[in-house]
Amino acid sequence: MNLEVLPQRTGGAAENMATDFMLLQRYPREKVARYRHYDWRSPAFTFGYSQKIGFVRGQLPAGETLDLCRRPTGGGVVDHRDDWTYSLVIPRGHPLEEVRATQSYRAIHEALAGALAEAGVPVVLKPVAENAPAGEPGAPAGVCFERAEVFDVVHAESGAKIAGGAQKRNKRGLLFQGSLWRPAAGGAAVDWEGFGEEFVIRLSEALGADATPTAWPELNDEELEGLMEQYGSPDWMEFR
């Protein structure tokens, strides 16, 4: 299996969410996973597919112009103003696509935690609580970095949540969208470029894949623009 590592890009919130979904929905490849790390054109927040817009707006900082978008995945409100964002598309039929959500979540975060540890950040995965049902992560937090959930990456000393993620499965495969809060991991003290390279290595090992830097697929520009319009529309943002 191959892990295609796409070039880093910078986009608006609707563009980034539309691109992630399009890579899952329209451009999956058999036995090929796709990974990308991306940036944000302006201060941005995203929120989970099932969250209510009234709650979300109540969590946003007042007096600041923000680029806001509902994600195609679940999870809570995510502040992207100083995060490290990535997504991964795993095709249908791969072992990590077929297992329970908690197992794929754990495998990806183990790779992330290993890369952070290599960069000198003391981290652990939040364990399952003793009284929690086996394999069940529990209800997600409404605001992502306020509380760690099972198998989130947390600082081993302070207990602060460093990284979380959200997933979407359909007949095409699995989309995983992940966010790492850089201030909780040490901010500028971390070699983020080196961390990113190490994460790709460990992610490819978790997938049993060979990582290959790959040019962007030939996306249908008209379809992508239409999907961006949808993700930026009031109907999408406020349907819950």
Per-residue b or e along 91-105, where b marks 16 or more CB atoms closer than 10 Å to that residue's CB: beebebbeeebbebb
* pLDDT tens profile 139-153: 455 766 677 889 999
* pLDDT tens profile 61-75: 999 999 999 999 999
For the record, the structure tokens of 182 come out as 């850089």
Section 33-50 average pLDDT: 97
Q: Would you state the pLDDT for residue 144?
A: 66
Section 148-173 average pLDDT: 94
- Give the chain's mean pLDDT: 91
DSSP state of 126: P
Section 213-224 average pLDDT: 91
Q: Would you state the pLDDT for residue 19?
A: 96
Say which range, 167-171, 184-188, 217-221, has the weakest mean pLDDT.
Answer: 217-221
* Helix (H) or strand (E) segment spanning residue 67: strand 67-70
Q: Would you state the pLDDT for residue 135?
A: 40
Instruction: Find the DSSP H helices in the chain.
Output: 13-25, 53-59, 95-98, 101-118, 182-185, 192-207, 221-231, 234-237
Would the pLDDT of 45 be above 50? yes
- Which architecture, in CATH terms, is 2-237? 2-Layer Sandwich (3.30)
Report CA torsion sign: 176, 105, 35, 144.
Answer: positive
Q: Would you state the pLDDT for residue 220?
A: 87
Q: Would you state the pLDDT for residue 218?
A: 86
Q: Would you state the pLDDT for residue 175?
A: 97
Identify the residue with better confidence: 220 or 8. 8
Q: Would you state the pLDDT for residue 164?
A: 96
* pLDDT tens profile 103-146: 999 999 999 999 999 999 999 999 976 444 444 344 455 766 67
